[in-house]
Structure 1
Amino acid sequence: MKVSSILVFLGMSICLKAAGDVPLGQLVFYRSAFAIVPIMLMLAWQNKLLRGFKTQHPASHILRGLVGVASMGLQFFALTHLPLPEAVTLNYAQPLFVIVFSAVFLGEMIRAYRWGAVLFGLVGVVIISWPSLSLFTSGEGFTNAQAAGVTAALTATAVSAVAMLLVRRLVKTEESATIVLWFSLTSTVAGLLTLPFGWVSLSWPQLTLLVTAGLCGGVAQILMTEGYRHAEVSTVAPFEYTCMIFAIAAGYFLFGEVASVNMIIGGLIVVAAGLFVIWREHRLGLERTAAKKASSPGV
């Protein structure tokens, strides 16, 4: 289910990229609005539809939604200005930002191993980004599409990490269905509010691609959720990195994009750092479980 969700998410990215020159707010609207359809069907089938709307923390959901929309818009900008493999791979830096922000904003204790993984992963990010970011020194600056795309991708990753911290706080009191549904609704409204700022008339192929992207987003969310339901996070999460292989193949065959040496080397470093973080979290989880068992009174 996790691998299926990766493929469907990649299909969503391909549709958005293939749609061409469409304003970001319009992309966000279609991606979010049509994602609601499969999500609501799933919740109705599970008899959780009404429960999904109920919350005692609407402001927290809206804040999480707005942060998520900012990240989504930046990701879409990067997707339309960068080769597909590069845009996808830069997203893998998110767990590294989550570690940093957890220490800074939540005061969590981060040990040397994970700090080492962060630094190692950031080296990979620099290797991927350097050819594009070095274009700033040429005097072209943000007029260069790839330089702007890399900047947007890295900013989106950092903003997405903030969204993850907000989700961490929400899951303590809210159900997953509520979080997913409120995010979809918030991002749909936020996208719709950009209508006065210049949406474009869509051709039938563009409309089909955007509606398909939205449906793919909702289906992928369901598959991902079900995948985590049937196995531990530490078991399922590493399969996220198979997307790098699929993205390289899709970029080559669909858009004629050849992955650069920098992207492959940097991507492997980022993936290695991410896998180490997952492994380390799994080990710490086992240690905490063992400690709880040891401290529990015998029966």
Structure 2
Amino acid sequence: MNSKTIGYLYVLSAVTIFAVQDAFSKYLGAKYPPIMVTMIRFWAFAVFVTVFAAYSRQGLRKAVVTKRPLLQIFRGVILSSEIVVVIFAFTTAGLAMSQAILQVTPLLVTILSIPLLGEKVGWRRGAAVVIGLIGVMVLLNPTNVRFDITLLLPLVASFMYALYGIATRAVSRHDSAVTSVFYAGVAGAVAITLVGPFYWTPIRTEDWPFMAALCICGTLSHFLLIKAYGELSAVEVQPLTYLQLVFGVLIAVSVFGETVTWNMILGAIIVVGAGLFTVWREYRLGLKKPKQI
């Protein structure tokens, strides 16, 4: 197999594991405090990124050195906080609905990149963002008398992850990818550990395998995604990551008995379509720089 094929296999494997990981998060989040679940998951993630940095080409000593320490720490804090909100969303708004709404993240990154990174967005990407936000409104279905305020949780999580993405773009101008991965894991673990112990709840014996599986999925999925980016460009990886929505919905329906409604399907199609167009336009702009459209 050539490198491209291997890269696509890495992405598909990572996306599949991400979907399974979300299922474990929903299951455990319904039985234990999401903050505690996130803390244990980040402990495993911190060990992984430390080992990963140590065996990287630059080594652990250089990976620790950063030119933007506060921003790197912020990334870890916002990432761990976002995962807590996501788990809350899975257990309240539902796995399928949450996954659908979370697909708006690339559009929020585009919006936030204007004031925070000083990037310019042409009318085509601007139109895609507007269409994507309309898709979110379809997902939320505010005209429905059964509208639940908990549906805003995945939207908040999406906004938080967009901030994480913006911060990652900013630090990438100064630090290596290894350094960024290291700080995301370690800073996130330290931050959540300052709060998590106050929510500690004894874990039942029968649930430890699920907790272990969550930690393994969390580290393995990130490792595979890192490997994928080593073989493929972002524009090649991003479209396949939307398969997580498909896998997530299948798990939500078959395992947790959730119901998929017409507005969820239509809204998800609109949001994913707008997100794919935005990714494609960013790729095209990258090829045509410095020309701005």
TM-score scaled by length of structure 2: 0.88
State the Cα distance separating 1:117 from its structure 2 match.
Answer: 0.4
Map of 1:147 onto structure 2: 149
> 2:238 — aligned with what?
237
Inter-partner Cα distance in structure 2 for 1:71 and 1:257: 23
Q: Does 1:35 align with 2:45?
A: yes
- TM-aligned CA deviation for residue 119 of structure 1: 0.6
Q: Residue 255 of structure 1 aligns to a residue in which SS?
A: coil
SS in structure 2 opposite 1:34? helix
State how 1:72-87 maps to structure 2 within 5 Å.
72-87=83-98
8 Å CA contact 2:53–2:182 kept in 1: the answer is no
Distance change >3 Å, CA 32–CA 134, structure 1 → 2: farther
The amino acid of 1:198's aligned partner reads Y
For 2:289, what is the secondary structure of its paired residue?
Answer: helix
Trace 1:256-275 onto structure 2 (pairs within 5 A): 256-275=257-276
How far does residue 196 in structure 1 lie from its aligned partner after superposition? 5.0
Name the structure 1 match of 2:6.
none
1:88–1:244 contact (8 Å) kept in structure 2: yes
Single out whichever of 202-211 and 158-167 deviates more from structure 2: 202-211
Q: Distance in 1 between matches of 2:132 and 2:60?
A: 40
- Report what 1:98 is aligned to: 109
Contact 1:95 1:161 in 2 (8 A): yes
1:200 match: secondary structure: coil
1:125 equivalent in alignment to 2:126: no
Q: What residue number does 1:294 align with?
A: none
Residue 43 of structure 1: how far off its partner (Å): 3.5
Distance in structure 2 (CA, Å) of the matches to 1:172 and 1:160? 19
Contact 2:89–2:95 (CA under 8 A) maintained in structure 1? no
Structure 1 pair 29–190 and aligned structure 2 pair: CA distance change class (3 A) = same
Q: Counterpart of 2:191?
A: 190
Seen in structure 2, the aligned counterparts of structure 1 residues 205 and 248 have a Cα distance that, compared at 3 Å, is same
Task: State the shift of 1:172 in Å.
Answer: 1.1
1:126 alignment partner, SS class:
helix
Aligned to 2:62: 51
Question: Contact between 1:34 and 1:211, CA under 8 Å: does it hold in 2?
Answer: no
Distance of 2:123 and 2:220 partners within structure 1? 38
Cα 1:132–1:256 shift into 2, 3 Å: farther
Q: Work out the percentage of aligned pairs sharing the same amino acid.
A: 26
**Contact residue 21 and residue 218 of structure 2 kept, 8 A:** yes
Counterpart contact for 1:30–1:211, Cα < 8 Å: no
Task: Give the drift of 1:133.
Answer: 7.8
SS in structure 2 at match of 1:172: coil
Q: Structure 2: which 5+ runs fail to align?
A: 1-9
Instruction: Report the CA distance between 1:281 and its aligned residue.
Output: 1.2
Letter in 2 for 1:169: A
Q: Which moved more, 1:8-17 or 1:125-134?
A: 125-134
Structure 1 residues 91 and 164, CA, compared in 2 at 3 Å: closer, same or farther?
same
